[in-house]
Amino acid sequence: MPIAFREWAVTVRALAEGEQLITLRKGALREPGKSVRLAHERFFLYPTFDQQRGDLVRESHQPELRRALEEGVWSDGEPLLQAFASGHPVQQPDRVRIRAWAEVAGHFTITDPRCVDALAPFYVWTSDYATRRLGWRRHQPLHVLLLRTFRIPRPVTVKVRDEYAGAQAWIELQRELPFEGTPVLSDAEFERAAEEIRVITDEAGQPVFA
């Protein structure tokens, strides 16, 4: 069964549109008992709708919150944008749309808040929220994943299952999906941005691989 990476719906949408190139995580990226290397380096992007708050998304990307609702399918109609954006609990969708997959093009760890700020052009969250991700579990570094994202030919709708919930990064989808599609950025566009990210993380971080 294909592996998927859980991330906020608004983040998945931004990755699939080429508006975000990295994701930031503390722990939960590797299999229990394994080394620091990622458990998976190619995966589908699974949109989640819990704990999302509009004030944690940069003002320039607030319109993405409305578009992010398109990633879910609710039998009783999608939740009100105001409730979704406020971070209040919303009813989880019956199904979600998988529209993209990603390959890890670089994996770095950082501990310097200045590095998080410097990476701001490559994510849609507020810098304050990104820095808070760094501050959580201070004894652990923040993992920066540089993602090359591909849009699949047409979105695939999958049923939301109880085992997909929780805080885990990885889930196993109960449906076959092909790793095919078009990169959201051209090779040249991606390499230019990737080089900027590598320079930032080389100055204030530690490459796991790049």
At residue 136, the pLDDT reads 75
Residue 60 has pLDDT above 60, yes or no: yes
pTM here?
0.88
Whole-number mean pLDDT of the chain?
A: 85
Query: What is the distance in angstroms between the CA of the first residue and the CA of the last residue of the chain?
Result: 27
More confident residue, 53 or 142: 142
Confidence of residue 207 (pLDDT cuts 50, 70, 90): low
At residue 92, the pLDDT reads 83
Confidence of residue 139 (pLDDT cuts 50, 70, 90): confident
Taken in order of first residue, the domains within the chain and their CATH numbers are 3-209 (2.30.130.30)
Contacts of 66 (CB under 8 A, 6+ apart): 81
At residue 35, the pLDDT reads 41
Residue 31 has pLDDT above 50, yes or no: no
At residue 210, the pLDDT reads 45
Other Cβ atoms less than 10 A from the Cβ of 168: the count is: 10
- Which residue type does 28 have? A
At residue 33, the pLDDT reads 46
At residue 28, the pLDDT reads 55
CA 150 to chain centre: 13
Residues 25-63 as b or e (16 or more Cβ within 10 Å = b): eeeebbeeeeeeebeeeebbbbbbbeebbbebbbeebee
Residues 88-99 have a mean pLDDT of 86
